[in-house]
Structure formats: structure tokens, C-alpha cells
Structure 1
């Protein structure tokens, strides 16, 4: 498992990296990889999302090949794009989503914050609002896109969208929840330390590959 920190990187440039890695994993010439990064301000919206949920177009918008509706990315938010071969891990997208939620809940627990799932709503929540958004794309059973965890994020841009298509949805950050200075480098380290072991626990590698299909 490779873990690569791309730092602050434009969304389009990160997408090019994802495309290359996904093609390599599908071809069997590349390793599964977790990309960690921050983006300059951008709204992204899933392939089936409603552009009416973007209330202010002052920030650039990208429609992308993932599930879910609109969300915001910006500095202070940890974005993770796992490129994972689900064909070798059981071809179970729903279990993969639960793995990503579990990963983020365990990471924020390291900062003494209790987070939870909301039935029927993919993502991670606290009593004060949504802490992390998850939107996944799968091509030939190889994953793209992933999660966005608000660490020290400016939350104001979320007020100019209906986050994940939910009008009036409250959004929070790790920093706001724990009431102190949270360092991005520490959050990245926690994610990186937990990722592979938890993935293998949820979705162990199989001896033989399944037919990927579409």
C-alpha cells in the first residue's frame, strides 16, 4: 500500500493523478494507493447531483464521476482519495463505504471526539453537524475519489450550498469540535497509520481476482 501526500494541489491536477493510478491498478502494474491532500476552494458535485444545490457560483464548480451531491473542498480540509482494487477485496461497495466511515470515526476518536453514522446518510457526523463527506467513484472495481474531513476548514462556503443535497444541513470541523488547535500533519499521520490495517480487516485481499466488469 502506497500512501502519498500531495500537499495543497488543484483539484484537476489531483484528478489526473487518480486516473493514472486507477489505470495502473486495473492493469495490475500498480499498487493500491491512498492519496492525501488539500484543495484550493472548489465545489464538487457527483454525476447525479442537482446543480440547484449550489446557491452561489463565486467558487468554481466541478462535476465529477462519483456518487453523492455537492460538497465544498478548501484549505484546512483533509481530502483522501483511496485507489483500491475492490475486485480483489470482495466487490462490495457498501462495505467499502462503511470502512471509510469507520476509519474516520476512529481517527477523530484519537482526538477525543465521538463521531457516528446517520442511517441512510453516507458520511460521518457529530451532535453539531456533518464532520466528513464521502463520495466514491468505481471503474472496473477500482475506486476513485473518497472522503473529505473538515479539520480546520473555513465552514462559511458550506452555507452557500445544500451540503450533500440537504438544505440547512449543519457542518462542523474537528477544530470546532475539540475547541483547540488541531494540526493537519497529525490528522494525516493518524489516517495513514490506520488505513491499511483497517482495510484488510474489513475487506481482506483474496488469493484470486474476480472479474471486474463495469
Structure 2
């Protein structure tokens, strides 16, 4: 993502990457080691996104919008609000009432967090993105303070009997991002990215 962002230039295409990671903790630029309680055998990867530590794993869809914010004429706040709205709208379509919280990026159902955001803006373009828990093992979240909040409970679509293939949901989220930000994507495609930690959790 960093390589594409640094090389894309002003005429570079906006892209949306849809992925499902193997089990991994990612630590943001502001990440504090005390929020890693007991990672065990799950690897911890340092990233250049904002925020603290979170968990990615099978059954969670991760969507990375690589967007030129200058071209879209939006700032960081509008980007975060727009991505949260994409998640809220998708959940509403599944019959789940979700909301954002002031000062705590992500999307919540009641007191539980169901989706997370972590972004980086560099050279006027954004990368990293959002994750939505679909049908996964939530136990690894108990080994950290998710997003830096002790005791934060995580939920998932399966808790509400709203199950679907993670990549189908990812494609719907991507379509909502296109609509939300009025994007024009050339040669749209999605790919299931699997394999080593380096190829899936690295930049």
C-alpha cells in the first residue's frame, strides 16, 4: 500500500483492496505495548496507520480504500465519517442498528464494537482502512485492549444471525465506498489474498 501510494502521482487510479488476513495483531503508530496483554503465538506487526492495537483473522473482512483525498476535495474528518457511514449503512441493510462514537473511530452496536478504522494519509492520499467482524473467533481480542480500550467487547455479524460470505460483504462495502465518495474506478476487480504473513499483513 505504501509503495503504491508513494508512486501513484496525481493521475494514479484510486483503488479498493478487499482482503481476509490470517491471525495477526497490528499495532498503529501510537500503539502502546501495555495494550498487548497476552498475544501468545499470534504475530504482532508494526504498521504505519493511526491508532492502537487490533486483531485481524479469518472471518473478518478488511477493506483498504486507496484514495486521493485532494482530488476528492475532502479532509480526514470527512474520510472517517464517510467510511463509518458506509459501515452503518451496510449494517442497517442487514437489520442491525449501529452508530459511531465521538472520539472513538469505528462502528458500535450498543456497547460493543463491530467494526474498526485505521488510516494513514500521506502525500494527500489515504491507505489502510476498515475491518468488519463477520463470523470469526473473537477470543484473540481478549488478549489485547482493542484499539486501546480496556474491557471493550467486540461483536460480529454472526451474533445477529446476519451471516454471508466475507468477500461478498467486502464487495458490497467496496460498492458503498464508491457511492459514498462518488468514485470512478477503472478496471474494477477483487481478489482473495492468502498466503504468508508478509504478503497479507505487510505493506
1:29-84 CA-partner distances (Å, limit 9, x unpaired): 53100101000011011111111101113211111111110100001111011110
Q: Is the 8 A contact 1:34 1:83 kept in 2?
A: yes
- Other-structure match for 2:17: 35
Distance 1:34 1:196 in 2: 9
Distance 2:27 2:122 in 1: 18
Q: Is the 8 A contact 2:90 2:173 kept in 1?
A: yes
- Which one has more relative contact order, counting CA pairs under 8 Å at least 6 apart? 2
Distance 2:97 2:125 in 1: 31
Q: State the number of aligned residues.
A: 182
Task: List runs of 5+ in structure 1 lacking aligned partners.
Answer: 1-17, 202-214
Distance 2:74 2:179 in 1: 18
Q: Is the 8 A contact 1:128 1:172 kept in 2?
A: no
Partner of 1:55, secondary structure, is: coil
User: 1:45 aligned to 2:43?
Assistant: no
User: 1:147 aligned to 2:130?
Assistant: yes
Partner of 2:182, secondary structure, is: helix
Task: List runs of 5+ in structure 2 lacking aligned partners.
Answer: 184-203
Q: Post-superposition shift, 1:20?
A: 3.1
Q: Post-superposition shift, 1:91?
A: 4.6
- Other-structure match for 1:10: none
Partner of 2:48, secondary structure, is: coil
User: 1:69 aligned to 2:52?
Assistant: yes
**Runs of at least 4 residues off by over 6 Å:** none
- Other-structure match for 2:170: 188
Distance 1:86 1:180 in 2: 33
- Other-structure match for 2:157: 174
Q: Post-superposition shift, 1:184?
A: 1.6
What root-mean-square deviation, in Å, do the aligned CA atoms of Structure 1 and Structure 2 show? 1.5
Q: 1:91 to 1:199 in 2, by over 3 A?
A: closer
Q: Post-superposition shift, 1:180?
A: 4.8
TM-score by length of 1: 0.80
Q: 1:180 to 1:101 in 2, by over 3 A?
A: closer
